[in-house]
Amino acid sequence: AQRVTQPEKLLSVFKGAPVELKCNYSYSGSPELFWYVQYSRQRLQLLLRHISRESIKGFTADLNKGETSFHLKKPFAQEEDSAMYYCALGGYQKVTFGTGTKLQVIP
């Protein structure tokens, strides 16, 4: 069975500090990993996909198959990064989401 774990419900960091949102997955095949973000009063939207290997809004995420992780990172947090972040796993079954991490950036 596929599973996504986000161990932190809430992560508080100061503006300018580095951010790392953790995501671990369980999947027997080749996974497709995503990060979704939901800003206050906005729709849940795709932030980035591992297959694209791109940086979006300064965020990056690297798929580590050995550690089955897909942590989201940003070197310097901004206040506008405050949001709910969800890690998701797609394969040959339905897309599975983690429980989400609320990122709070303190000014």
Partner 1 sequence: GAGVSQSPSNKVTEKGKDVELRCDPISGHTALYWYRQSLGQGLEFLIYFQGNSAPDKSGLPSDRFSAERTGGSVSTLTIQRTQQEDSAVYLCASSVGTGGFSGANVLTFGAGSRLTVL
Interface with partner 1 by CB under 8 A: which residues?
A: 30, 32, 34, 36, 43-46, 49, 51, 84, 86, 88, 90-100
Nearest distance, CB of residue 43 and partner 1, angstroms: 5
DSSP per residue, 32-79 = EEEEEEE-TTS--EEEEETTTT--BTTBEE--BTTTTB--EEESS--G
Nearest distance, CB of residue 68 and partner 1, angstroms: 18
Nearer to partner 1, 19 or 48 (CB): 48
Nearer to partner 1, 2 or 60 (CB): 2
CA dist 107 and 92 (Å) reads 42
CA dist 72 and 34 (Å) reads 10
Nearer to partner 1, 61 or 88 (CB): 88
